Structure 1
Amino acid sequence: MRKNKIIGIIVVLSLVVGLGFFYGYQKVTEVEVKGNYEHIERLAEGADPSLGVDGFKDGDYVVDDKFVSHLPLVVIDLKDKEIPEAYTFDKKEERFVLKDGVEPYVDASISVIDNENDVNYLGDDPQLESSIKIKYRGNSSIVFDKHQFRFKLLDEQGNPQKLDVLGMGEDSDWILNLSMIDSSLLRNYMSYAIAGQFMPYTPDVRFCEVIMEKNGVYEYQGLYLMMEPVQHGKNRVDIHDYNPKNDYTSYIVRRDRYDEEGVMLDTYATKNELCYGYLDLKYPTGEDLSDKVIDYVTNDISDVEKILFSKDENTFLKYPQYIDEDSFVDYFVFNEFFTNYDAGNNSTYMYKNDRGKLCIGPVWDYDNVADNISEYLLDPEVISFEGQTWFEQLLQSETFCKKLEKRYAELRKAYFSDEYIDTFIDDTIVYLGNARKRDWSRWKDKYTEKRFAIVKDRYGVKVDRNFENYEDIVQRLKDTFNDHALFILPELHKLTVSCKYKDAYRIHYEYAALFLVIFLISVTIGRRKV
């Protein structure tokens, strides 16, 4: 009797150990919330959002040396020049292309006023001054009255000059971004700030106010984000430099529409029309770019695509050997949460460091997210990222699907919680203060144009997203995040249930083997004691 009890105890323990390993694999871990954000840090330093006027009268946006803000001031001096309207819309390619014979950049100069006490007068000495080349940037946003800009810092000889801009590290290439399409002024900042907490190489961003100077006259342009473009570099995508002695190279590519000015790669999936868009090689560039490099990157990505698009299960399941699966998981759940359904197909970067695995990212372009597309109404009860390039293939794997569920559950308790998102939005609005009001005074007529189509939702109710005041716009933004967040996890589970390649017998074989060993040992011990 006593021997049977011992055997029973051993068997039960082996079951507990085996099940412990199994469920440990699926356990949702707690995400450490960092929250080192510009709006939090600046307010903690004593920045006063009530500084300066809260609007302009009679359409007069001319300012003088007494203009003051708690945000950095960026002054662009165009002298007597105009930035040319250098791009035209190509209906066939569905994008803006450079006009023949037009140089998009003009020479100008930039001054940045960013005092340590967060009190910045237009008449103060600047912390940074440089010659620049500047142009308008964007795709559809390039036609808006509130332009976005891209500029390159230059030294006295006209060569690229790397300088630290607003504490984001030294580089020569910068962007002034805040699309007129986002009347909340929050979408891009939210996206980059939150992504930067857990997604590598996310571009740094800083709020600032832009003043355009022309022939000695200063005109207020509005609230902007100074930000980094996605590029190779020490303070950008910090992968290893190209080395011509190696038969391999680190690289960065971008998936988007066809670009005649780019280095378009004819990869396996592109050649066989298996994917959307084209991959443009963004690094190596310049003198490092050669046929050898292009062939290497083309073949390297083709190897990944041949596995992802393989009809053979064993071949397909080799994909974790080639891609950084966790980066693809984060990219999926982040863009699904923010409802960025352009990502994956357009403005989609990937990078590889030497002979490591291919990673997706950094994230890019978030002014259209969270139900901000004029023609379409977001349905919060469904997810739509599963159809994006490469992800449709990855979702055949139960392993990948389960990782999506697990990761979303983790982030939902942290950065994606309703409380976190609502607080982030409220705190950012407090931080922007009068700067936000000044921008709205400058551009309110454009922000409140009735650009949204009135569309019926899934229940047949007409939804009007055209609002006259900022508070309603912000509430709609919060509601969109909170409503959609409720449905993501159950929708992800549906993907797991319906996936093609089940892994119950395959992925947990190590735990099954361990359980079997423990069980056999217990039985053997029991028999010896009989």
Structure 2
Amino acid sequence: MEALRGRKYQLIAVAAIAAVVAAGVVGTLADANKLLPERYHQHEKAQQLADLPEADRAAASGTNTDAATFASHLPVVSIDTGGQEIPGELVRDENGKTIEGGDGRAVVTAAPSGEPSITASLVAFDAESQDAVRANRLSDEPEIESSCLLRIRGNSSRAFDKKNYQITFVKSDGTDNDQEFLGMAKSETWTLHGPSLDKTLMRNYLAYGIAGEFMNDYVPDVRYCELFIDGEYQGLYLATETVKVEDGRLDLNPADPKSPTTSYVLGIDLTGSGPLTISDFLRYTLRLSKYMNIEYPNATTLTDEQKAWIEQDVSSFEKALFSYDYDTRDYGYVNYIDVDSFVDSFVWNEFVINDDFAAYSTYLYKDVRGKLTLGPPWDFNNVFDNYRLATPTDKFYLVDRAWYFMLFKDEAFTERVISRYRELRAGALSEEHLNAYIDETTEYLGPVVERNFKVWGYLLDAENVSHAQKVEPDERNPRSFDEAIDQLKSFVTERGAWLDGSIEHLRQYSHESAVKKFNH
């Protein structure tokens, strides 16, 4: 009896310690959130249509898209190509099929010079950046006036009629011309994302905004604007920071070409390999079917020794993760990675069902002084059930992706994910917060939605647009902006409800074999 009583008290003590540890994990994550800089949400902080003087408000309220008389409460960007064709279009054969190169990538058009970009002129109008409250017009004094390199960007989105663009500000001598852009910090390179497949016009805006409220590392800043190219209205666009080290967006120790050890950024790409592709452990064991490329240091500064070191450094983490010692203090994966970044990335991408996550458009980075971090988050055009094929809300999608197959073998990691999900559902990921964010963004955009669909409204007719510009089957495609918003809110409700009742089921993936032989 005494032995049983002693055992009882031992179990109570163990349970108490476990509770303290669990509370410590949650507390640590919560405390980290308090240190985050306040996220700038344009729909909350920027000038509203109602703020404008009466005459400006009237001019900005309609569907007028004529460049000479156009007015908007949003920033306005105008690009002049001088009549040049913007490179980056998909090249197709006589049957309309995309042509692929030897590396498996789709072939795209180049500038007449053979370069991937053309040189164009860009002006941006943002009254708020000039401490003024008025409509933005193309006749105003511009906030920015600069030459830029311009090209079409993206993967599948290159097939859309409404294109995405990359711009790089340059000086007259062709060197970088860092600029503050629409209230965002200085840089030379930006993307202009044109919501096309996304009829809510806000999936990327919503995803970056919410992620920026709780992820403890850098999340790209974004701003809505309206775009003109060669005097023609192009609709609503989202100006987005790119993942950069040189301008300080990622706080990494600069690479030193004299040293083989270096800070680095990696990106998982769709297809094809090249001189910046690494052969990491998951790649050469065929556990990762896509390619991991070095984004920083860039091709002009990366040395052969640094590439070899990066390849080995990533492989060391992956080998530890897929070893029998994966969950040990001395030899396990925790010695190599920022675990919180892998937890947060899973929770957010699983919640929104980002089917591209850990397959494409996924970044990792490491400061030479620190650990490998998953992020920054990137490209959310297809989330919230906007993927080409339906993504039902009642299943887990990412538990077997890349590193997560083994991470969820570890009960400690699984418990951190569950705790973090519960914490975020009481705040940033609550249905109330997400729906309010959607409603407030809708109100902020106001007449811009109608102006956008004045040009692109035909894309709402699923029966008469190309296969590449719609989701399947046809009935999944919304016929109006309001229907698209209803679909988005329904997803938030259904996905949240299913995960609320199922998140603990992640523990089933932690039932390892006794000898760990069959874990891998």
**For residue 516 of structure 1, what is the aligned residue in structure 2?**
none
Q: Does 2:432 match 1:416?
A: no
SS at match of 1:282: strand
Equivalents in 2 of 1:90, 1:237: separation in Å? 36
Specify the code of the residue in structure 2 equivalent to 1:393.
Answer: M
Specify the code of the residue in structure 1 equivalent to 2:84.
Answer: K
Question: If the length of structure 2 is used for normalisation, what is the TM-score?
Answer: 0.85
Q: Does 2:338 match 1:324?
A: yes
Q: Post-superposition shift, 1:365?
A: 0.9
Q: Does 2:497 match 1:472?
A: no
**For residue 482 of structure 1, what is the aligned residue in structure 2?**
493
- Verify the 8 A CA contact 2:273 2:291 in the aligned structure 1: no
Relative contact order (alpha carbons < 8 A, sep ≥ 6): 1 or 2 greater? Answer: 1
Specify the code of the residue in structure 2 equivalent to 1:353.
Answer: D
SS at match of 1:279: strand
**For residue 250 of structure 2, what is the aligned residue in structure 1?**
237
| 284-293 or 423-432, larger mean C-alpha shift | 284-293
Structure 1 alignment gaps of length 5 or more: 1-7, 456-463, 504-530
**For residue 212 of structure 1, what is the aligned residue in structure 2?**
229
**For residue 19 of structure 2, what is the aligned residue in structure 1?**
23
Deviations 1:80-111 (A, max 9, x none): 22213544335697753345884331111000
| 97-106 or 324-333, larger mean C-alpha shift | 97-106
Distance 1:247 1:483, change over 3 A: same
Distance 1:112 1:99, change over 3 A: closer
Specify the code of the residue in structure 2 equivalent to 1:115.
Answer: A
Deviations 1:417-472 (A, max 9, x none): 110010000000111111122101110111332434349xxxxxxxx323322111
- Verify the 8 A CA contact 1:133 1:154 in the aligned structure 2: yes
**For residue 491 of structure 1, what is the aligned residue in structure 2?**
502
Q: 1:337 aligns with which of 341, 351, 356?
A: 351
Distance 1:155 1:318, change over 3 A: same
Q: Does 2:324 match 1:305?
A: no
Distance 1:337 1:293, change over 3 A: same
SS at match of 1:63: coil
Equivalents in 1 of 2:361, 2:108: separation in Å? 18
Equivalents in 2 of 1:97, 1:68: separation in Å? 38
For the pair shown, which has the larger CA radius of gyration, 1 or 2? 1
State percent identity of aligned pairs: 31
**For residue 96 of structure 1, what is the aligned residue in structure 2?**
106
Equivalents in 2 of 1:15, 1:142: separation in Å? 60
Equivalents in 2 of 1:94, 1:303: separation in Å? 28
**For residue 525 of structure 1, what is the aligned residue in structure 2?**
none
Q: Post-superposition shift, 1:499?
A: 0.9
Equivalents in 1 of 2:151, 2:177: separation in Å? 17
**For residue 274 of structure 1, what is the aligned residue in structure 2?**
287
Q: 1:125 aligns with which of 141, 150, 164?
A: 141
Specify the code of the residue in structure 1 equivalent to 2:22.
Answer: Q
Question: If the length of structure 1 is used for normalisation, what is the TM-score?
Answer: 0.83
- Alignment root-mean-square deviation, CA: 2.9
- Verify the 8 A CA contact 1:401 1:492 in the aligned structure 2: no
SS at match of 1:22: helix
Equivalents in 2 of 1:350, 1:413: separation in Å? 28
Q: Does 2:194 match 1:178?
A: yes
Q: Post-superposition shift, 1:260?
A: 4.4
Structure 2 alignment gaps of length 5 or more: 92-97, 464-469, 515-520
- Verify the 8 A CA contact 2:49 2:60 in the aligned structure 1: no
Equivalents in 2 of 1:160, 1:35: separation in Å? 27
Q: Post-superposition shift, 1:231?
A: 2.0
**For residue 446 of structure 1, what is the aligned residue in structure 2?**
459
Equivalents in 2 of 1:333, 1:319: separation in Å? 19
Equivalents in 2 of 1:314, 1:333: separation in Å? 21
State how 1:449-464 maps to structure 2 within 5 Å: 449-450=462-463, 451-454=470-473, 464=475
Equivalents in 2 of 1:46, 1:14: separation in Å? 65
SS at match of 1:196: helix
Equivalents in 1 of 2:377, 2:259: separation in Å? 29
Equivalents in 2 of 1:444, 1:241: separation in Å? 46
Specify the code of the residue in structure 2 equivalent to 1:74.
Answer: V
